[in-house]
Structure 1
Amino acid sequence: MPIDHLQKIARAPDIDTLRGFFLDAMKGQGFENAFYTARFLAALPSQSRHHQDVLITNIPKTMQQEMLRPRAGRTPQWAEWVDRNDGTISFRDLRRTIEAVGASRPPEFEIARHHGLGAVQVVSLRGQVMRWTGAVLLNPRLGATPEELDALWRERGREAVLICRVAHLRLATIPRNSGQPLLTPRQREVLEWRSAGKTVGEIATIIGVTPATVEKHMRLAREALGAQTTAQAILRAHVAHELFPRVMHSQPLT
């Protein structure tokens, strides 16, 4: 079991560090080429939308654009499979499944083979983390055969899937709101108390202001977050890591 790799991934403080640990872990399992894509599904205000999609890969950009990205508005077949299925599947088996129902073979399989990436295992991360979806494509080496992939997957597949899942879980919990805060301290405070079930009158008493002032701060918070209701504002503030900010300790608790 790749305990050292899992520990590093689970403790990664940021996405760049996670990227290095994940790719090293995959190489340690025999997969020289990896493509990990994740997307946050909740609708966020435009100020925080730039953190929704994450890509971790060591596959050259030319290959990514030609083989792994949508072409002419069409989603790659492996991405469609991930949206509907859990577990794992190889490009070879996915191609056979498509051909078995009489559908035409998608061009990405031939393009992948042309680039030496015909032997690829797809790992679906659908449903692993609430409001997050993701997938990992793994290849032993450029030019590897499907038979080589099968043998390696039988030996290392369980560990590889576990690494993918731990990385996905860690990604979902890494703070991504590194820009300017969307809320003022007072707006954050009233939303935190409201999320705890306090009424406007109770919040006013707790923080020492009038109910009208509490209503004003909640209205401004809704506007800042692009929310129609206070409940929606609380959700958006939470997923943007604006509520109950984590306190970072220089020393671990003992």
Structure 2
Amino acid sequence: MTPQENVALLDLTHSNSIEELWDLHCRRMASFGFDRLLYGFTRFRTATSLGDPDDFIVLSNIDSDYVQSFVHNGLYRSAPMVRWALDNDGAASWTVLRLMLESGTVTDAERRILEFNTKHGIVAGFSISFRSLSDRAKGANALIAEPGMSQAEVDALWDQSGELIQLMNNIVHLKILTLPYTPPNQSLTKRQREALEWVGGGKTMQDIATIMGLTPATVEKHLRLAREALNVDTTAQAVLKAALQNQMFITDV
């Protein structure tokens, strides 16, 4: 790699927030011709579902209306490249979509997704599906080519720079997993976070009250509000979910 490419990789690893990391990554990918990205990650995958979209990590520089329709309104469930990402690891050219159309293996629901994407100028690109050691976790990133760029041009670009692009995306994915991420309407206050941290550390309610200088009733109030914010039923679930989102045991938020 060139010195400039080494610096680019170091800049990604030095990012201190998801916002900083994502902004930098979007600009790096745009320099290759991928001006729109859609990243998704879940830790709640089952045999029949990817879990609640409100629990996904979703990052994108596509307009919010598209993301709302595709992710939160559930269109992703019928997207052919999402199906590919669930079944595979690595990178895939969107040439597979043309092959699916030509072979007649596209369902009506998938065809509607392709038409929806075309209306939004999403016609050429590459998808990267990240390897996970857990069956419950899955992440992928769609790299969307800038308007006017054909799939043949994208494939030629990938032949030249695909390994570097994939390396950058792998680093970004791994970095995202280490940074705090707060889904909409699931943020914790400092006191809620602190109470959960002490529960995670094995402290009793009385211990936590003494440590925090509060009454046990006030500690329980903070824990109840934390459960409500995270949309879970038990404090144990709240501790786990906050930990998975890297909202706990952090020095600066």
**Under a length normalisation based on structure 1, what TM-score does the superposition of the two structures give?**
0.67
Distance between the aligned counterparts of 1:130 and 1:183, measured in 2?
Answer: 32
Match of 1:31 among 21, 33, 38: 33
Equivalent residue letter for 2:99: R
Structure 1 residues 74 and 38 mapped into 2: Cα distance closer, same or farther (>3 Å)?
closer
Aligned positions, number: 234
Q: State how far apart, in whole Å, the 2-side matches of 1:24 and 1:109 are.
A: 26
**1:14 matched residue in structure 2:** 17
> In structure 1, what is the equivalent of residue 48 of structure 2?
none
Instruction: Report the Cα distance in structure 2 between the residues aligned to 1:112 and 1:205, rounded to whole angstroms.
Output: 53
Q: Rg larger in 1 or in 2?
A: 1
> Structure 1 residues 182, 41: CA separation in 2 closer, same or farther (over 3 Å shift)?
farther
Question: Distance in 2 between the 1:141 and 1:123 partners?
Answer: 17
Structure 1 counterpart of 2:49: none
Q: Distance in 2 between matches of 1:205 and 1:221?
A: 11
TM, length-normalised to structure 2 = 0.67
SS where residue 34 of structure 1 aligns?
Answer: strand
Distance 1:24 1:240, change over 3 A: closer
Change beyond 3 A, Cα 1:132–1:17: farther
Q: Supply the distance in 2 between the matched residues of 1:208 and 1:115 (Cα, whole angstroms).
A: 52
d(CA) in 2 for partners of 1:61 and 1:200? 42
The partner residue of 1:55 within 24, 45, 59 is: 59
Which of the residues 80, 89, 93 maps onto 2:83? 80
**Paired AA for residue 59 in structure 2:** L
Equivalent residue for 1:188, pick from 194, 200, 210: 194
Q: What is aligned with 1:251? A: none
| Counterparts of residues 1-254 of structure 1 (less than 5 Å) | 1=1, 2-28=5-31, 30-41=32-43, 52-57=56-61, 64=66, 75-97=78-100, 100=103, 102-104=105-107, 106-109=111-114, 117-125=122-130, 127=132, 133-177=138-182, 181-182=188-189, 184=191, 188-189=194-195, 191-198=196-203, 203=207, 207=211, 216=217, 219-226=220-227, 227-247=232-252
- For residues 145-190 of structure 1, the C-alpha deviation after alignment (integer angstroms, 9 at most, x for no partner) is 33322222122111111111222222333334599744627x725x
Change in Cα spacing, 1:10 to 1:231, as seen in structure 2 (3 Å) is same
Cα distance in 1 for partners of 2:80, 2:24 equals 28
Deviation at 1:237, TM superposition (A): 3.4
Partners of 2:68 and 2:212 lie apart in 1 by 59
- Structure 1 residue 22: Cα displacement: 0.7
Seq. identity, %: 24
Paired with 1:60 and 1:152, the residues of 2 have a C-alpha distance of 25
- Residue 78 of structure 2 aligns to a residue whose secondary structure is coil
Partner letter of residue 137 of structure 1?
A
Change (3 A) 1:99 1:233: same
Q: Give the 3 Å change call, closer, same or farther, for CA 147–51 of structure 1 in structure 2.
A: same
Gaps of 5+ in 2: 46-52
CA contact (8 A) 2:40 2:58 kept: yes
SS of aligned partner of 1:38: strand
Q: Which amino acid in the other structure matches residue 155 of structure 1?
A: Q
> Residues 185-218 of structure 1: CA distance to partner in whole angstroms, max 9, x if unpaired?
7x725x43442345667x47984999xx65x466
Compute the RMSD of aligned alpha carbons: 4.4
